[in-house]
Amino acid sequence: MVPANLVSLASHVNRLGNAEIASNLLRRALELDALSQPALVALLRIKLDSDALDASLDWVRRLPQMRKPPAELMQEIVRKLESDRYLFLAERTATIDELQTRGGRGRIRQGVIPITQLIQLVAKVAK
């Protein structure tokens, strides 16, 4: 089955209230096409809605590697990971940092640029 069809089917199944089956369909779509951004985004939205990010950090780390990752989804994931529920998650801080810098290219938090990028910008201007 084509990944786009699986994403569409997963969307319908999720609307009918079965997030687990929808997640399985989206994982299968990602097995068929690891670069399917619609499948990854849909899977992460389901995991975000069901508070199941702790088991999905591998998928979360794929998001910044996409060609044009949705900034609002990354913001939602960062907010959720910063909550107390995920406080003791082993890779929490590294995942948040990756989403805020590499994935958002300094634009996730409006107006905030990571210090390393700021130093690089100042060095380029000074030349």
> Under a CB-based contact definition with an 8 Å cutoff, are residues 37 and 26 in contact?
no
b/e burial code for range 87-106 (CB count within 10 A of at least 16 → b): eeeeebeebbebbbbebbeb
pTM: 0.76
Q: Angle formed by the axes of helices 71-81 and 37-49, to 10°?
A: 30
Cα–Cα distance for residue pair 86/84, rounded to 1 Å: 5
Cα 34 to chain centroid, rounded: 14
Taking only the tens of pLDDT, the chain with its 127 residues reads: 688 999 999 999 999 999 999 999 999 999 999 999 999 999 999 999 998 888 888 899 899 888 888 989 999 999 999 988 888 888 888 888 888 886 554 444 445 556 666 677 777 777 6
